[in-house]
A and B are shown apart, each in its own frame.
Chain A
């Protein structure tokens, strides 16, 4: 990989085996939606360190405080970067975000560090696991997606840092953090572990290698920024206020639905009346609070038209079901409702893991737009744009290359093209007939892959 500047404020990145792109023009004047933020380490006091940023995708530098006579900040400005002050950016925890603020950027803080969670007091290479022994993944993707619903059109910046009390992460871990945000249309505010910051300042070759990988990953997503225009798609709509008493269950269902390849769309109580329900097979009403009259009518119309409405026990009397239907999923009572169905829980929901699993059975796996194999440590994002194109993004958190991942698409696709930052060249995947359906066998990739299906 190499970097070369062609003119002040404009650069071309040449990465890997052929990623070539015009990144930015006149960085300081970059429109908000193209800003790629970097949190300048407070202990980087040498102005020459700005050279690490030059010629790369980062074009916005965040300082803790802006100071008029600061040599570093002067050098950064002089190099053509947009400069912002962290203190005035207004970063807030998810529950405290001012969604209606005038700022075109929504920075969200207090987030998890994306990764497979380490298990305390076990072998160093061990990982924490859920009850299915599936690795336990911390991800912020659902935060980004929820934020996009609450603040459509705004730029979502995610603020999370590598844990300071742990060793500096390797390149793949940083790249997973970048991909975790970018796959949901957000941006990670690039923040370095002290160890990496120190290594870069000292010119350590390993640190520089990590940095090159990060820049490559960032550049890849800027090259494919149009993917953020794809709309999340899935058979399930998850409806909640995702706040207050509903915060834990609502947010964890989003988290865990992603883990089991249950593709969903977020329906936020505050915005659902403006959101389309087209294409949904079912809606999960997570909250025990009864919907208002307008929302009740909308949900009833959805079910009467053939949809499945999944309700907590507390709302059993809100919708009057008709004929009882045998229910194969324990813990639910099914009743017909017009052309559709009401599924009402017979017990309180107390565990989002099981709720996600039950809901998946209720909406039926056969309605999943894609079926994945050997993807348990991958986070999946499925989105579509009008015109028959669909995008499946896969983010890996293990830090190791994937092995033998395969994908079956529910609907026939004319072609499937795979993009990875590992290789600048897209790969047209050959369809494979497996047990009567078409699958694509994915070549190994390190952290991230996107499959674009075209009809």
Chain B
């Protein structure tokens, strides 16, 4: 534990306690906590890891031990892991495999599943809601050249589910946002986000043109099913299959299916920079993250997609912890940004600070002075994304025009 970031024992104990409460609430064992006086601040493990090779598993194991051990978290439990597989599996930044730029790397997914299996997880579900698609996650992975069987064989009872629609569930589940929510008071989601004891966000370290950063919190933007929240979603009821992307959340040009809770304030700004961060904060409050892991071994600058500022980089770090806001605050700092920055300052040039919005909902703290970082100092591993890449362009406003019937 480095001394620079070491907090007092008092704060550390409080953080662990708060974390446990949040985790338990998420697991349904306890009622959700009311607005906390002080947002939880459990410790965050930070580690150097230069490659996805042999060092990955022992490094990850050590990090999990540093934050309390996996066994305590997953033994005998059903674990749901939201991985980040955004965008087309056939797209790459140059010749670089997508797991080295925008997707959570397959080796990290495999290592996490493996360690959870060893720690006694009863069932592990890998979840993602690929862009407007209902294809099985295994197929989505295969499209990038991955072998999903490698994950299935990494532990007992590994399952896959596309959560972009009803999936294997009978009905959508409604998760309420504690303390009211910013954009919606509750979200209707695939059953897997409730049918689990432990929820994990296994994210990539990258910039985002609207939200500024994509870390463990932003990863959860993709838990919203496009059958309800997407373009061409059903008006009254969810559509059977997703038929569009998440533009409605970005722009607010339409409401979700009427069967789901509608916006708290339909007159709020129709600006993605306002809406997307609030939606993310709502989601991580409604569906608490028990374990957040950020893959910063290899990553990309400049946001998803290909642009002048988009470059494949190797920060060589992993971040893990029990509180998503705290983990993302450390991750933000590792990327060379100030997690306390407000809109207008990097990396939040085009949107509000998701960390602050999460903090307002009582999810956790972004205040690094309150977070114990275990491992090297942040200053020792910081990797300045802006120096490595550049300022991402603002995302083009999403189109409200739907494409013609799809053809060629």
- Please report A residues at the B interface, Cβ cutoff 8 Å: 117, 128-134, 136-139, 252, 255-256, 259, 261, 328-331, 347, 351-354, 357-358, 360-361, 364-366, 371-376, 403-404, 406, 408, 432, 434-435, 437, 441
With both beta carbons as reference points, the residue of chain A lying nearest to B137 in the complex is identified as A328
- Assess whether B240 is in contact with A361, with CB atoms less than 8 Å apart: no
Asked, given contacts A328-B136, A361-B136, whether A351 binds B405 with beta carbons under 8 Å apart, the answer is yes
B94 / chain A contacts, CB cutoff of 8 Å: 403-404
Contact A330:B134 (CB < 8 A) given known A360-B139, A364-B142, A437-B145: yes
User: Which one, A128, A132, A366, contacts B131 given CB within 8 A?
Assistant: A132
What's the Cα separation between A286 and B149 when bound, in Å?
A: 31
Is the CB–CB distance between B407 and A353 below 8 Å? yes
Cβ contacts under 8 Å, B231 to chain A = 131
Kindly state the separation between the CA atoms of A136 and B405 in the bound complex, as whole angstroms. 11
Is the CB of B6 closer than 8 A to any CB of chain A? no
Cβ B404 vs Cβ A347 within 8 A = no
Q: Given the complex of chains A and B, what is the CA–CA distance between A139 and B408 in angstroms?
A: 8
Q: Is B317 an interface residue (CB 8 A)?
A: no
Stretch at the interface among B7-15, B84-92, B264-272, B350-358: B84-92
State how many angstroms separate the Cβ of B313 from the closest Cβ of chain A: 17
Q: Given A136-B407, A404-B95, A354–B139 Cβ distance below 8 Å?
A: no
CB <8 Å contact, B131 and A371 = no
State how many angstroms separate the Cβ of A141 from the closest Cβ of chain B: 10
Contact yes or no, B408 A330, CB < 8 A: no
A357–B407 contact, CB under 8 A? no
Interface residues of B in 191-246 (CB under 8 A from A): 231-232, 240-241, 243-245
Residues of A within 8 A of B232 (CB): 131
Chain B residues whose CB sits within 8 angstroms of the CB of A371 once the complex forms: 90, 143, 145
B407 in contact with A361 (CB, 8 Å)? no
Residues A131 and B406 in contact in the complex (CB < 8 Å), given A328-B136, A364-B142: yes
Note all chain B residues with C-beta closer than 8 A to A406: 92, 95
**Does B135 lie at the interface of the complex (its beta carbon under 8 Å from any beta carbon of A)?**
yes
CB distance from B400 to the nearest CB of A (A): 13
CA distance A171 to B94 in the complex (A): 26
CB pairs A–B below 8 angstroms (30 shown): A117-B408, A128-B403, A129-B403, A130-B406, A131-B243, A131-B244, A132-B88, A132-B132, A132-B133, A133-B245, A136-B407, A136-B408, A137-B408, A255-B407, A259-B408, A261-B90, A328-B138, A329-B136, A330-B240, A353-B406, A354-B243, A373-B90, A373-B95, A374-B90, A374-B92, A375-B90, A406-B92, A406-B95, A408-B145, A435-B106
Most chain A beta-carbon contacts within 10 A, residue among B95, B136, B241, B404: B95
Which residues on A sit within 8 Å (CB–CB) of B134?
329-330
- Residues of chain A within 8 A (CB-CB) of B99 are 435
Give, as a whole number of angstroms, the nearest-CB distance from A432 to chain B. Answer: 8
Contact B165–A330 (Cβ < 8 Å): yes
Decide: B90 and A376 in contact? CB cutoff 8 A.
yes
Contacting residues, chain A, for B95 (C-beta < 8 A): 373, 404, 406, 432, 434, 441
Is A357 a contact of B135 with CB atoms below 8 Å?
A: yes
Minimum CB–CB distance for A359 against chain B, Å: 11
A352 to B405, CA, bound (A): 9
| CB atoms of B408 and A255 under 8 A apart | yes
Inter-chain CA distance A443–B145, complex, in Å, is 20
Q: Return B107 CB to nearest CB of chain A, in Å.
A: 9
Counting from the closest, the 8 A-B pairs by CB-CB distance are A353-B406, A328-B136, A365-B142, A130-B406, A404-B94, A361-B139, A361-B135, A373-B92
Interchain CB contact under 8 A, A128 and B404:
yes
Chain A hits for B132, CB < 8 A? 131-132
B316 within 8 A of A: no
**Contacting pair B240 A366 (CB below 8 A):** no
With A364-B142, A376-B91, A404-B95: A256-B408 Cβ-Cβ less than 8 Å: yes
Distance in Å: Cβ of A54 to nearest Cβ of chain B: 37
B394-408 interface with A by 8 A CB criterion: 402-408
Bound form: Cα–Cα A192–B21 in Å: 73
* Residues B403 and A376 in contact, CB atoms below 8 Å apart: no
Give the chain A neighbours of B375 by CB distance below 8 A.
Answer: none
The answer to whether B97 has its CB under 8 Å from any CB of chain A is yes
Chain B, residue nearest A134 (CB):
B88
A347 touches B403 (CB 8 A): no
A438 to chain B, nearest CB (A): 11
Q: CA A256 – CA B145 in complex, angstroms?
A: 21
**Contact, CB under 8 Å: A256 / B241:** no
Contacts of B133 in A (CB 8 A): 132, 357
Contact with A along B57-91 (1 / 0, CB 8 A): 00000000000000000000000000000001011
CA A178 to CA B138, docked complex, whole Å: 38
B95, B166, B408: which has the most chain A beta carbons within 10 Å? B408
Contacts A139-B408, A259-B408; A331 near B90 (Cβ below 8 A): no
Contacts A131-B245, A329-B136 supplied; 4 other A-B pairs, CB < 8 Å: A133-B245, A138-B408, A255-B408, A329-B135
A residues less than 8 Å from B407 (CB atoms): 130, 136, 252, 255-256, 352-353
A137 / chain B contacts, CB cutoff of 8 Å = 408
CB distance from A436 to the nearest CB of B (A): 8
Cβ of A365: which chain B residues have Cβ within 8 Å of it? 139, 142-143
B residues in contact with A374, CB < 8 Å = 90-92
| Interchain CA distance A437-B90 in the complex, whole Å | 15
B406–A435 CB distance below 8 A: no
Other-chain contact of B406, A139, A328, A351, A408 (Cβ < 8 Å):
A351
Alpha-carbon separation in the docked complex, A261 to B406 (Å): 16
* Most-contacted residue by chain A among B88, B95, B405, B406 (CB, 10 A): B406
Looking at the assembled complex, report how far the CB atom of B162 sits from the nearest CB atom of chain A, in whole angstroms: 8
